[in-house]
């Protein structure tokens, strides 16, 4: 009897064919109320799950006694209780590497758009407000030569540093769990504590994961250390930031602006004050949202799942303690 794989993410025809050739496949096309009911109904017979953007907590996964693997189509794993999965010997995999460059592109797009007020001024033109040459009240700020501060120096942090150092001649400051000599040598970067980075960087960019230690890391105290000309960029996770403190820092002029691809609550509430601020560029969590990258992520997730259900160690195994080999 074929094993049962439950998908809560659409795949390309080619990837679907690969799974359907070996497994019974259930596709849940939308994660609305009906889709969540379909997921709960499918869990008792499921051997593997593949998807993203939903929190799979123990109370839900307790409904899946046969579950062997979860292939997450993402890098972040904050939607999973890893200790619980490991205890049950359920393999959790993710999709690192394939979205590194694309997410770093998004980060730099937000740096440029926020510094040069691209969205605000494009809307001015669209609304017919461009009647004469713009003056100082519409000027932006330079990016080249400014100090780039990166909080979290993993793969995406390194890709962001590469763009800043080689493309824009930016001095690079970074803060992470420990110094990274190779990063310092390649990008002429300087390791420093978080307070120093917040005080000295012109652009403060978050690329770190959401954990118990990082949740709420950038709070009112952190914003108070930034300078009025600072621009804040978040391509990490929304909950790393105290959003109320961010809004107050923007309103008060404590910082110049913010480029945000992630938020405490997603989708962002329509009445969020962030949407009323000209000095905010807000995008709908598009870090990896290109045709090429999303297909590469899905392909990586499928390969992880195929390996796990074949009794092989997946290439991108998150919880090594769950491995039975």
Active site residue 237: yes
- Residues 128, 266: one domain? yes
Cross-sheet strand order for the sheet of 24-27: 24-27, 4-7, 48-51, 69-72, 91-93
325 pLDDT tier (thresholds 50, 70, 90): low
- Residues 209, 169: one domain? yes
Q: Which residue among the candidates 4, 47, 117, 285 is catalytic per the annotation?
A: 285
- Residues 248, 300: one domain? no
Count of structural domains, the chain: 2
- Residues 200, 276: one domain? yes
- Residues 179, 244: one domain? yes
- Residues 145, 228: one domain? yes
| Distance, CA of 122 to CA of 283 (rounded, Å) | 15
pLDDT digits (tens, 9 = 90+) for 209-237: 999 999 999 999 999 999 999 999 999 99
Note whether 51 and 80 are within 8 A (CB): no
- Cα-flanking dihedrals φ and ψ of residue 239, to 5°? -75, -5
- Residues 108, 94: one domain? no
**Per-residue confidence (pLDDT) for residue 53, from 0 to 100:** 86
Domain ranges, residue 273: 100-282
**Per-residue confidence (pLDDT) for residue 245, from 0 to 100:** 98
| CATH number of the structural domain spanning residue 157 | 3.40.50.720
- Residues 171, 236: one domain? yes
Active site residue 227: no
pLDDT at 116 over 80: yes
Q: Which residue among the candidates 47, 163, 175, 237 is catalytic per the annotation?
A: 237
Distances (CA, A) of 274 to 106, 258, 295: 19, 9, 31
- Residues 216, 257: one domain? yes
Region 32-38 average pLDDT: 94
- Residues 23, 151: one domain? no
- Residues 161, 222: one domain? yes
- Residues 174, 164: one domain? yes
**Per-residue confidence (pLDDT) for residue 321, from 0 to 100:** 82
pLDDT digits (tens, 9 = 90+) for 266-318: 999 999 999 999 999 999 999 999 999 999 999 999 999 999 999 999 999 99
pLDDT digits (tens, 9 = 90+) for 176-187: 999 999 999 999
pTM: 0.94
């Amino acid at each position: 009897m074929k094993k049962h794989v439950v998908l809560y993410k659409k795949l390309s025809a080619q990837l679907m064919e690969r799974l359907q050739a070996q497994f019974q496949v259930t596709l849940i096309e939308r994660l609305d109320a009906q889709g969540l009911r379909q997921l709960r109904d499918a869990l008792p017979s499921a051997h593997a799950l593949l998807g993203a953007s939903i929190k799979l907590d123990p109370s839900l996964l307790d409904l899946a006694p046969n579950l062997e693997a979860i292939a997450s189509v993402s890098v972040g794993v904050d939607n999973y209780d890893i200790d619980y999965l490991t205890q049950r010997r359920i393999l959790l995999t993710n999709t690192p590497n394939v979205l590194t460059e694309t997410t770093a592109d998004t980060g730099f797009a937000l740096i440029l758009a926020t510094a040069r007020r691209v969205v605000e001024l494009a809307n001015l033109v669209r609304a017919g407000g461009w009647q004469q040459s713009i003056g100082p009240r519409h000027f932006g700020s330079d990016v080249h030569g400014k100090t780039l501060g990166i909080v979290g120096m993993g793969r995406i942090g390194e890709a962001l540093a590469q763009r800043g150092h080689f493309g824009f001649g930016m001095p690079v400051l970074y803060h992470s769990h420990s110094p990274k000599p190779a990063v310092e040598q390649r990008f002429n970067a300087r390791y420093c504590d978080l307070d120093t980075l917040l005080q000295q960087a012109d652009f403060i960019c978050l690329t770190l994961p959401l954990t118990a230690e990082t949740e709420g890391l950038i709070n009112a105290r952190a914003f108070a250390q930034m300078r009025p000309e600072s621009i804040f960029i978040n391509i990490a996770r929304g909950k790393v930031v105290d959003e109320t403190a961010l809004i107050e820092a923007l309103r008060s002029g404590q910082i110049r602006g913010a480029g945000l691809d992630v938020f405490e609550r997603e989708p962002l509430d329509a009445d969020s004050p962030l949407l009323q601020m000209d000095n905010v560029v807000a995008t709908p969590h598009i870090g990896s949202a290109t045709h090429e990258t999303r297909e590469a992520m899905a392909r990586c997730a499928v390969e992880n799942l195929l390996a796990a259900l074949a009794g092989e160690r997946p290439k991108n195994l998150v919880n090594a303690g769950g491995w039975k080999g």
